[in-house]
Structure 1
Amino acid sequence: MTKPKILVTGATGKTGYALVEQLRAHDWPVRAVASRIDGRSEALQKLGAEVVVADMYDPEQMYQAVCGTQRAYYLPLMRPYMIQAANAFAVAARDAGLEHVVQMSQWTSSSNHPTPMTRQTWLIDRVFRLIPRVAHTIFNPGMFADNFLRTIDFAALLGVYPVLMGTSKSAPISNDDMARCAATLLMQGPEKHAGRSYHPTGSQLLDGREMAGIVAGVVGHKVVAVDLPLVMFRKVARMQRIDPYQIALLVRYVEDNKQGTFSFEGGVTDVMRELTGKPAETFAITAARYASEPFAKQTIGNRLRALWNFAITPFYPAYDLDGYLRKLHVPVPAQTLHCMQDPQWRDAHAAQMQTSIDRSRNVVEVPNETLPHFTRA
């Protein structure tokens, strides 16, 4: 029997590329969407994926990309106007007759969250629900392990592990596990997963100091956890030329983490094992993969570079994130609330976690028609 062709957006990114690898390893036909032809897209072609170049904000280009595919993985753009790209995709999915879309959402998805991305994600969850004759599946991971391991070179080379979130905990999930989750949902298809929502997490609730201890075991020497003030974080991010929009979002998610959003109702699920037959990988396994990357190798050149960067960081200008967001002119609700301050968010997500416990499984079914709505008078 011919396998349905799967469209993968965000295919040159960290989770998207890993997803294409997973699907091609199981011999599924894949069409990968890229913004341009470069080394990353050529690597996708070597995996056996068909690569198409498309502007995700352009409805016609997205229609051409979707045509001829049956299932799709949708990764929302981490950009200020991601809602336009999502609507372009929704129209394309309807017009091209797509049968199933698996969408990465957020655990924080909320209509009045302080970040524009999270507010728009809440809308995308509901826009995709409304696409006629297209089955819809959500998976909404929590904190990404990638957020905690971007600075593993400091630990490997200088024995310092920056801690941004104090003593608050989360269960960080790896890019590879998110890809395994998405691949399973796409391969098993709408017959099993239409209308459902899944919350995959890492295997352990950890705070920054516990992560530092694990990283020390990985790099093979003592590592000291050091609290990193947000202003220093903004300096490091600018030095690394990370998109200021991403940093503006992450700063808000740091506050969510400190308030307990990512440890809410226990914080850990067994979704990875229930979906894929294998448990989520440990933070140590994920950290070891990052420590093996060239930037973290314990060489003289890397160590000198890390010492230089560490020395100049206090003198480097920080991102002005508030000013940056003001210039974007994104709409802001009259009242913004972090997740733990939002009764509707707490009720909906407590129910999702409790359903997992009650069913003695951590795979959560939330029919699309019961996604929480506004409470109206």
Structure 2
Amino acid sequence: MSRLNGNRAKAEREGLKVNVAILGAGRIAHSMAKTLLAMSNDDRYKNLIAPYAVAARDGQRAAEFAKQYGFPVSYGSYDELMNDPNVDLVYIATPHSLHAEQGIGCLKAGKNVLVEKSFTANTAQAEDLLRVANETGLTCTEAIWPRYMPSRKLIDDVIASGQIGEVKAASANLGYAVIGKPRMLDPNLAGGALLDVGVYPLNFLDMALTDTSDRTIDRIETSMLPYETGVDAQSSTTMFYDDGVMAMASSSMLATSDRTGVVWGTEGYLMCQNVNNPESLDIYDTEHQLKGRIDIPAQLTGYEYEVASAANAVLDGRIECPEMPHADTLKIMRLMDRLRAAWGLKYPFE
């Protein structure tokens, strides 16, 4: 058990913070390190978390990473991280195919986990990881940052207010030219656009269309263009819900898209600039005239919200975060499995 799990009173009494360690030292790990450093110097978070350690398979790389960001501890193996009793929360920043194994290892070692999206490579792995979370009673949550951001409630509030009328459809897209990254092309690492890029449009649509209703997907039409290594390069999906609402998602790792998410209503539409990290929300009427603009609150990096939520879950002894409960993680994993099945895409380890 973590030294702080469910011990908020002890933490406050003894001035203890949630020690966060990063497992992996790649690009996304650097983004998280910058976030933790900024949080440790911000009045809103400095008494909640502490940047503590980083682990990599190469000890020198880990040491250089720790020195760069001022982390007091580094490890040349993941096992060393798992065996350190001072680690409270582990951010898993490795390829999708490793998340389940590493997450389970951390949980069994008494460490709470914040697992970078995609949560795992498939639903079976997700169920295995969440089963161990339930058995250990430790926090286990998916790091899909728009789920935790203030913009999520702002979008919900616009839809609930009736400003765009009754919602009938929505669309979302995300594309980056990232084929220069070997990880993205490797089927053994669950590469491809879907788990890395396409997961964002799917989450945007799920939040916008199902958070406040019981609608479920009735039918899916989807197609995919494969890359030469066999992973999905870009895809288009239309989902038809049981109440007649329609949603369209597209993703690409070949090209840069406009990243917009739009919710279409009978009285207008809501446009979100950048479904990956919302920058503004614009409300239009039926004549396409701008009715209002909602600015997104200033943020450190955008990752701070998921870290704070996970840290608070640790202190409260909760196994999940309200912004991304296990049921929602499983829903998205099952949807992505369904899409891959329609495409005939399997990873070598499945």
- TM-score normalized with structure 2 length: 0.40
Structure of higher RCO (CA pairs closer than 8 Å, 6+ residues apart): 2
Greater strand content: 2
